[in-house]
Amino acid sequence: MSGNTCIRVLLADDHAVVRAGIRQFMERAGDIQVVAEAEDGEAAQALIERHKPDVAVLDIQMPKASGIEVTRWVRAHQPAVGVLILTAYDDDPYVMAVLQAGANGYVLKTATPGEIIQAVRDVYAGKSALDAAIAQKLMAQVGGRGELSPIEPLTDREMEVLKLAGKGYTNKAIGAQLGISDRTVQGHLARVFDKLQATSRTEAVMRAVSLGWLPPELGELDDS
């Protein structure tokens, strides 16, 4: 990286201590400047719009909007901004959802400062940056099944049903609300469970919240 190139980075993580640590070693690299920090997804979007950084470094689990939601928003509104997910989560559904949303890289917080800095440089250079452990998992998936199995998006009707289920409505009440039979509601929920690899309403709602498909407050329901 030439001495006069400076990669402008936005850092979004809801833990101030984590942001401070990452900022410190990034700025020590000499070619990276952290232009803004955000503690939630909404602030990240506003700051990306204002500063138009070269690379947005995002955590997945953030208040107000998840890293997945912010990634989708960046792809729709600021396509020139590179997105690097820096997170503690290495679960397959998260990885697939983030890559589907359009992230350029996915690095775990267990990576060394040098690896994280290199990932920022790779994303800035237009390359994809995948944590070795993540890349290995994805390759294993390809090898094991011949294809990746990302989470299949829900239809609008399935999303309506899940949203009402998340608010605690019974199948009958959901049916009345949407003008469909409770048997049809049951069919929609079965497909939702299947797509989200969930075994209960709570698990389905939690997974949809973690993927940024439903607002976080719906993840606080009781499984009744």
22 occurs within a structural domain: yes
Same domain, 200 and 173: yes
216 occurs within a structural domain: yes
1 occurs within a structural domain: no
Write the pLDDT tens digit of every residue in 51-80: 999 999 999 989 999 999 999 999 999 999
Placement of tokens 């909007």 in the chain:
65
Same domain, 102 and 173: no
CATH of the domain at 180: 1.10.10.10
pLDDT tier for residue 90 given thresholds of 50, 70 and 90: confident
150 occurs within a structural domain: no
Write the pLDDT tens digit of every residue in 108-142: 999 999 999 999 999 998 887 887 777 766 656 55
Same domain, 30 and 111: yes
Same domain, 181 and 125: no
Same domain, 42 and 90: yes
CATH of the domain at 111: 3.40.50.2300
CA angle (91 as vertex; 88, 95 as ends), nearest 5: 90
Q: Could you count the other beta carbons within 10 Å of the beta carbon of residue 215?
A: 14
Distance (Å, whole) CA 44 – CA 32: 18
83, 71 in Cβ contact below 8 A? yes
Q: Could you count the other beta carbons within 10 Å of the beta carbon of residue 15?
A: 12
151 occurs within a structural domain: no
Write the pLDDT tens digit of every residue in 136-148: 666 565 544 444 4
Residue numbers of the domain that contains 189: 156-220
Number of domains into which the chain is organized = 2
Same domain, 55 and 139: yes
141 occurs within a structural domain: yes
Same domain, 207 and 115: no
7-12: strand order across its sheet: 32-38, 7-12, 55-58, 82-87, 105-108, 129-130
Which of 88, 112, 145 marks a domain boundary?
145
2 occurs within a structural domain: no
Same domain, 25 and 99: yes
Which of 81, 113, 145 marks a domain boundary?
145
pLDDT tier for residue 223 given thresholds of 50, 70 and 90: very low
Q: Pick the residue with more confidence: 193 or 137?
A: 193
Same domain, 76 and 37: yes
Which of 106, 123, 145 marks a domain boundary?
145
Same domain, 108 and 134: yes
CA angle (102 as vertex; 98, 108 as ends), nearest 5: 40
